[in-house]
Chain A
Amino acid sequence: MKEVLDDIERWQAQGHRIALARVVGVEGSGPRDPGATMVVNDAGEVAGSVSGGCVEGAVVEAALELLRGERDRGVITFGYSDDDAFAVGLTCGGTIHLFVEPLDW
Chain B
Amino acid sequence: MTASVFETLRDTLRAGEPAALATVVEGPHIGAKLLVRPGVAPVGDLGDPDLDRVVARDALGELESGLTSTRHYGEHGEARERTVSVFIESFALPPHLVIFGAVDFTAALAKVGKLLGYRVTVCDARAVFATVARFPMADEVVNDWPDRYLAKIADDLGPRDAVCVLTHDHKFDVPAIAAATRTRVGYVGAMGSRRTHNQRTERLREAGVTDAEIARVMSPIGLDLGARTPEETAISICAEIIALRTGRIAPSLRDASGPIHS
Interface residues of A (CB under 8 A from B): 1-2, 5, 8-9, 22, 24-25, 33-35, 73-75, 97, 99, 101, 103, 105
**Contact between A34 and B69, CB atoms less than 8 A apart:** yes
**Complex CA distance for A99 and B21, rounded to whole angstroms:** 14
B236 to chain A, nearest CB (A): 24
Whether B173 sits at the interface, judged by CB under 8 Å, is: no
Task: Scan residues 5-41 of chain B and give those whose CB is less than 8 A from a CB of chain A.
Answer: 5-6, 9-10, 13-14, 21, 23, 25-26, 30-31, 33
**Contact between A105 and B89, CB atoms less than 8 A apart:** no
A35 to chain B, nearest CB (A): 4
Q: A5-B10, A101-B23 are in contact. List 8 more A-B contacts (CB 8 A).
A: A5-B13, A22-B87, A34-B68, A34-B70, A35-B90, A75-B26, A97-B70, A99-B87
Given A99-B23, A99-B25: A105 and B6 interface contact (C-beta under 8 Å): yes
Q: Which residues of A contact B5 (CB under 8 A)?
A: 105
The residue from A2, A25, A73, A103 contacting B6, defined by CB atoms under 8 A apart: A103
B2 to chain A, nearest CB (A): 13
Interface residues of B (CB under 8 A from A): 4-6, 9-10, 13-14, 21, 23, 25-26, 30-31, 33, 44, 68-70, 85, 87, 89-91
A97 to chain B, nearest CB (A): 8
**Contact between A101 and B31, CB atoms less than 8 A apart:** yes
User: Residue of B at shortest CB range from A104?
Assistant: B31
**Complex CA distance for A7 and B191, rounded to whole angstroms:** 43
Most buried by B among A74, A101, A105: A105
**Complex CA distance for A35 and B85, rounded to whole angstroms:** 15
Closest 7 CB pairs of A and B: A24-B87, A35-B68, A99-B25, A34-B68, A73-B31, A105-B5, A35-B89
Given A34-B87, A101-B31: A25 and B70 interface contact (C-beta under 8 Å): yes
Q: Which residues of B contact A101 (CB under 8 A)?
A: 23, 31
Given A34-B89, A75-B25: A2 and B69 interface contact (C-beta under 8 Å): no
**Contact between B10 and A105, CB atoms less than 8 A apart:** no
A25 to chain B, nearest CB (A): 5
24 A-B pairs whose Cβ atoms sit less than 8 Å apart in the complex: A1-B91, A2-B13, A5-B10, A5-B14, A22-B89, A24-B23, A24-B70, A24-B87, A25-B70, A34-B70, A34-B89, A35-B68, A35-B89, A35-B90, A73-B30, A73-B31, A74-B26, A75-B25, A99-B23, A99-B87, A101-B31, A103-B6, A105-B5, A105-B44
User: Residue of B at shortest CB range from A18?
Assistant: B6
**Complex CA distance for A34 and B20, rounded to whole angstroms:** 13
Q: Which residues of A contact B31 (CB under 8 A)?
A: 73, 101, 105
Most buried by A among B4, B23, B25: B25
Q: Which residues of B contact A24 (CB under 8 A)?
A: 23, 25, 70, 87
A41 to chain B, nearest CB (A): 15
**Complex CA distance for A73 and B26, rounded to whole angstroms:** 10
A30 to chain B, nearest CB (A): 13
Given A5-B14, A24-B87, A99-B87: A105 and B4 interface contact (C-beta under 8 Å): yes
Q: Which residues of A contact B89 (CB under 8 A)?
A: 1, 22, 34-35
